[in-house]
Amino acid sequence: MVTRITRIPPALSPLVPEIVALLGGTISAVIIVLPLNTFLGFINAESILLAPIIEEASKMVGVAFLALQYPQVVSSKRQGLILGGFAGLGFAFTENLFYATMPGTNVVARALLPVPMHIMASGVAGLGLVYLAQKRNDLRLKNPKGDSSNFKLRMVGSLMTIAMLLHGQYNFLSTFGYVGSLLGLVIAGFVYYRLGKSLPENLKVAIVPGPVKLLQSTVQVRVLKELVSTPETVTVAVNEAMRLGYCISCGRQIYQSAPYCDECGAPQR
């Protein structure tokens, strides 16, 4: 009988995941987004229809890398929001530097309106990548090859689609001036707040419906009842809640079954 030893990635130093996410957003703006947006600029309503898709997908490259290679740092709702937010911040900063070189740009308005929109939209996209990271964690414990082909694409796609919709509605309303931009920012902030407040910290026990149902539940200001709790997920939630322990590195209370600490990323096995 041959015993397979699963490779566990080393813990990252503090702030390294945030720096990777920030650089991912920055680099994607330079080498992917700005060239593509410039090339496709001749298309009508490009900033409303295509830019949100291109930008939200591209600026998450750093977070996606972390989810695949160091999934322990993208395994909770809080981590998804934070790392996604840093990716949006890096992108927005680079984009604003580009626009600052163009005559007539209101630098103050761009700092107050598009920057928080990018942070919130990317935070929502980061929530989707938590599902990829959690599946990667599970497969690392079972499969030494680390095959990630079985993660639920619908979970990631639903939240990524909402991020793109938040971005698109902001760009559309911005065509009506600063008042429209402010309204678009308020809408993005409302959805961001509702998702962050209603989704459980451990997204593994929540099954996210399609983007339409999830967005509808959010907009209607009620608890997200569309989060389907199957008997299996309820059992997992109850069993994990009953088995709490402490991180062997930082002492934070965690699930005993958790392979990594959500706070410091230290392996528990």
**Residue 150, pLDDT score:** 42
Residue stretches of the chain with pLDDT short of 50: 1-6, 143-150, 223, 226, 228-238, 240-242
**Residue 210, pLDDT score:** 79
DSSP symbol at 31: I
Which amino acid, residue 149? S
Q: Containing H/E element for 234? A: helix 231-241
Q: Are 156 and 124 in contact (CB under 8 A)?
A: no
Residues 6 or more apart whose CB falls under 8 angstroms from that of 131 comprise 151, 152, 155, 156, 203, 208
**Residue 217, pLDDT score:** 77
**Residue 115, pLDDT score:** 95
Terminal C-alpha separation, the chain: 22
> Residue 122: which of 50, 52, 223, 20 has the closest Cα?
52
**Residue 216, pLDDT score:** 80
Structure tokens at 95: 């984009």
**Residue 224, pLDDT score:** 55
Q: Are 77 and 130 in contact (CB under 8 A)?
A: yes
Length of the chain: 269
Question: What are the residue ranges spanned by the domains of the chain?
Answer: 16-209
Calpha distance 218→197 (Å, rounded): 10
Q: Containing H/E element for 88? A: helix 77-100
**Residue 242, pLDDT score:** 43
Structure tokens at 196: 């962050």
Which amino acid, residue 63? V
Calpha distance 45→172 (Å, rounded): 9
User: Phi and psi at residue 59, in whole multiples of 5°?
Assistant: -75, 0
> Residue 225: which of 233, 214, 236, 234 has the closest Cα?
214
**Residue 155, pLDDT score:** 82
**Residue 191, pLDDT score:** 93
Collapsed DSSP state (helix, strand, coil) of residue 223: coil
Calpha distance 262→137 (Å, rounded): 12
Q: Containing H/E element for 54? A: helix 51-58
